[in-house]
Amino acid sequence: MNLVDNIQSVKGIGEKNAQLLGKLGINTVKDIIFYYPRAYKKYSDPVSVSDTTEGERVAVFCKVVSYVESHKGRRYTITSLSAADSTGSIRMVWFNMPFLKSKFHKGELYIFFGTVKITGNMRVMEMPEYFTQFAYQKMLSTMQPIYPLKSGITNNLITRTVENVRPVIESIPEYLPDDVMAENSLMSRSQALLEMHFPESEEKLKDALRRIAFDEFLDFLVKIRMLKEKTVVEPNHHPISEEAIVKKDGFIAGLPFELTAGQKTAVDDIVGDLSSDHNMSRLIQGDVGSGKTVVAVIALLLNAISGYQGALMVPTEVLAVQHFDDISKMLKPYKISVRLLTGAMSSKEKREVYQELKSGKCQVVIGTHAIIQDSTEFQNLGLVITDEQHRFGVKQRDKLSEKGDSPHVLIMSATPIPRTLAIILYADMDISVIKDMPADRKSIKNCVVGTEFRPSAYSFIKKEVSAGHQVYVICPMVEESERSESENVIDYTDKLSSELGGNIRVTYLHGKMKEAEKNEILHKFIDKEIDVLVSTTVIEVGINNPNATVMMIENAERFGLAQLHQLRGRVGRGSAQSYCIFINVKKTQDSMERLKVLEDSNDGFFIASEDLRLRGPGDFFGIKQSGDMDFHVADIYTHSDMLRLAHDISLRFGTEFDGKIVL
Ligand code: ADP
Ligand code: MG
């Protein structure tokens, strides 16, 4: 028998059973081996009858002390007997199993296993399993598999079938070298698969799960590595010039601030990539406010001076406009032509940009998804950058690269993710981490409060505004089926405006507004013509107004930690002391615990790992978008040590195990 053989080649599986198993997706020998139990049943040492308690699932070692009775009830045939040990008696009851009448005889000893019920002062076990002492001894302390089933299929059928393919499982070859297994106390592959079905003990099962998680991770990482080797051997079609490298130093010297150590390293990494003999594929990871934009600008500058076009894609119109304004200013002295391209622009404007991209006149384009539409063609695209990467799917990222002849790829993520996740999500990339914040930053002061704190919050806002600072308020969210979000923002703004008094300029922003209108408001906010901006979460991504010092978030309990951290990241971007007020409206146990994390820490990496711990990886940052991560057993959080180990092994052995891991 072989892994690929049809399930009908297994003893006991004829056409009918094969059809049944087919309903569970089991068609081959391999399929049944990888059909893991959903749970396990454990048999324990028998206890005395008098020690059993209601609802407990136990074994008792008893003598049959009555004749077996069997009578037809209204719905069932009921078969029953009395059994007892030296401490008490207990009634055994079975439904629709009349054949048991001839099974048991007075005076025989059995071990009965089931859940105890107490009716009146009588103990009863309904539908107990029964074993001879010898048979039970064999079962004792083992764990019996419970498989996911569909109607017509019994657990027994699957258990028997797996039992019958045992020799195939035992002969699954080991691909890992002995020393790797020994050093890391890994169980062998075939033993792990056997233990998955028939665990000898909980310890062994845990080891089996570890090993299988390891295999799943390693297989994933090896596949990614294969992809990466394909791209990495891609030669550098767009090497940068000496002139570019020199001019870049001038640009850095002319900045109004000194780059942080992390920014410098990121720039060095990029210069290294762009002048090497292969393509760049790099992730810049840094907490909100760590200054990733300027690093992107330096990359665009290097690329443009070397004679290639560059594109920067961002997830929202508002952010595109802001980046466009900032970056065109910064690149102006270098006579680099920068253009904006967003869906909100008129067709005429867009056509003009398309034209300039095709002819090569436009050297840098900054925009939204509009950049990856079919109509955009480049003359010589050398570098593509995506900002706030977590908002884009992997496909969109690739689509941008396809616009050129293997352009360099740079990705900027404001969402700090734990290393274990980065390994998975960005397995095909090199990573630069900006750990430090610019030196002039004061860390944000946080408070988590209830709604009764609102009046004090408003007077605090007044104080900050009169000191010349600005404020964001994230509006409470509307319940579904209540009124629309926009109405809600408008009402809240009116209320707030009258609370704060006439001379404080309060304006609102929400997702339903026209792009042009949103942009105008943001411009006014950045130009200090607005003091307080009430907004929905549209401002979450990337907006930069260093003069804003207060962020007040209503209904903070409704957001995830990572998102709250992003929102908070809108303040504390300048040298003044900033504050974040989280209003916890519902004060549940869970929301208090989550918000406490934010109150105590401003460290995005720590927050991300807490978020992962509290929420589990399922929803984490839309992680599901990378569809390949279809692990059966492996869990990024519970098996994070296996993920790290798989990562190390994949570095040490490269793609050697490709195709050897049977999954
Ligand atoms: P993010 O990493 O969140 O994208 P930005 O690039 O928007 O951060 O930078 C936030 C603010 O910090 C901007 O106003 C930027 O000019 C400023 N900044 C960037 N680098 C430094 C630095 N090294 N020193 C001081 N301020 C800096
Ligand atoms: Mg940014």
Summarize pLDDT for 573-597 with one digit per residue, the tens.
Answer: 888 999 999 999 888 888 888 899 9
From the number of C-beta atoms within 10 Å of its C-beta (0-12, 13-18, 19+), residue 298 rates as buried
Is any atom of ligand 1 closer than 6 Å to the C-beta of 547? no
* Type of residue numbered 152: G
Is any atom of ligand 1 closer than 6 Å to the C-beta of 239? no
Summarize pLDDT for 226-281 with one digit per residue, the tens.
Answer: 766 666 567 899 999 999 999 999 999 999 999 999 999 999 999 999 999 988 98
In angstroms, what is the span from residue 618 Cα to ligand 2's centroid?
25
Residue 582 CA to its chain's centroid (Å): 25
Pairing of strands 408-413, 381-386: parallel
Is any atom of ligand 1 closer than 6 Å to the C-beta of 322? no
For residue 484, the tally of other CB atoms under 10 A from its CB is 11
For residue 569, the tally of other CB atoms under 10 A from its CB is 24
Cα(216)–Cα(227) distance, rounded to whole angstroms? Answer: 17
In angstroms, what is the span from residue 437 Cα to ligand 1's centroid?
9
Least confidently predicted of 134-138, 330-334, 534-538: 534-538
Summarize pLDDT for 74-85 with one digit per residue, the tens.
Answer: 888 999 999 999
Decide: 282 and 411 in contact? Cβ < 8 Å: yes
Helices (H), 501-560: 515-526
* Type of residue numbered 448: V
pLDDT tier, 395 (very low <50, low <70, confident <90, very high otherwise): low
* Type of residue numbered 58: V
Least confidently predicted of 99-103, 227-231, 537-541, 603-607: 227-231
Cα(377)–Cα(358) distance, rounded to whole angstroms? Answer: 5
Is any atom of ligand 1 closer than 6 Å to the C-beta of 567? no
- Longest CA–CA span in the chain (Å) reads 103
Is any atom of ligand 1 closer than 6 Å to the C-beta of 290? yes
Atom number of ligand 1 nearest to Cα 263: 23
Average pLDDT across the chain, whole number: 88
Pairing of strands 381-386, 309-313: parallel
- pLDDT at position 231: 60
Is any atom of ligand 1 closer than 6 Å to the C-beta of 294? yes
Pairing of strands 364-367, 338-341: parallel
DSSP 372: G
pLDDT tier, 536 (very low <50, low <70, confident <90, very high otherwise): confident
pLDDT tier, 319 (very low <50, low <70, confident <90, very high otherwise): confident
% of the chain with per-residue pLDDT over 70 = 91
**From atom 5 of ligand 1, which residue's Cα is the shortest distance away?**
291
In angstroms, what is the span from residue 586 Cα to ligand 1's centroid?
35
In 504-647, the DSSP E strands lie at 506-509, 532-535, 548-553, 579-583
Closest to 470 (Cα-Cα) out of 410, 537, 527, 422: 527
In angstroms, what is the span from residue 292 Cα to ligand 2's centroid?
6
- Helix (H) / strand (E) element for 384: namely strand 381-386
Decide: 489 and 511 in contact? Cβ < 8 Å: no
Closest to 171 (Cα-Cα) out of 59, 30, 270: 30
Decide: 59 and 47 in contact? Cβ < 8 Å: yes
Average pLDDT over residues 277-288: 88
Decide: 536 and 559 in contact? Cβ < 8 Å: no
Mutate to test the pocket of ligand 1, among 265, 285, 329, 544 (most ligand atoms within 8 A of CB): 544
Residue 249 phi/psi, 5-degree rounding, is -60, -40
Is any atom of ligand 1 closer than 6 Å to the C-beta of 262? no
Higher pLDDT, 663 or 325: 325
Atom number of ligand 1 nearest to Cα 573: 11
In angstroms, what is the span from residue 298 Cα to ligand 1's centroid?
13
pLDDT at 627 over 50: no
b/e per residue 179-217 (b: at least 16 CB within 10 A): eeeeebebbebbbbbbbbbbbeeeebbebbbbbbbbbbb
Average pLDDT over residues 57-79: 92
pLDDT at 631 over 80: no
Closest to 206 (Cα-Cα) out of 661, 648, 654, 639: 639
Summarize pLDDT for 154-183 with one digit per residue, the tens.
Answer: 999 999 999 999 999 999 999 999 999 999
Summarize pLDDT for 475-493 with one digit per residue, the tens.
Answer: 876 655 556 777 788 889 9
- pLDDT at position 621: 44
- pLDDT at position 415: 67
DSSP 8: G
Cα(362)–Cα(311) distance, rounded to whole angstroms? Answer: 10
Atom number of ligand 1 nearest to Cα 292: 2
Q: Is the pTM of this model over 0.75?
A: no
pLDDT tier, 624 (very low <50, low <70, confident <90, very high otherwise): very low
Decide: 318 and 522 in contact? Cβ < 8 Å: yes
Decide: 507 and 472 in contact? Cβ < 8 Å: no
Closest to 265 (Cα-Cα) out of 243, 288, 291: 291
Higher pLDDT, 261 or 1: 261
In angstroms, what is the span from residue 289 Cα to ligand 1's centroid?
6
Cα(359)–Cα(403) distance, rounded to whole angstroms? Answer: 14
Atom number of ligand 1 nearest to Cα 287: 2
- pLDDT at position 629: 56
Residue 545 CA to its chain's centroid (Å): 30
- pLDDT at position 617: 52
* Type of residue numbered 173: P
Identify the three-state secondary structure at position 304.
helix
Closest to 250 (Cα-Cα) out of 324, 302, 304: 302
DSSP 278: B
Decide: 404 and 377 in contact? Cβ < 8 Å: no
Decide: 524 and 483 in contact? Cβ < 8 Å: no
Cα(661)–Cα(172) distance, rounded to whole angstroms? Answer: 10
- pLDDT at position 266: 97
Helices (H), 175-316: 178-183, 189-197, 202-232, 242-253, 261-275, 292-305
In 259-376, the DSSP E strands lie at 281-286, 309-313, 338-341, 364-367
Decide: 383 and 319 in contact? Cβ < 8 Å: no
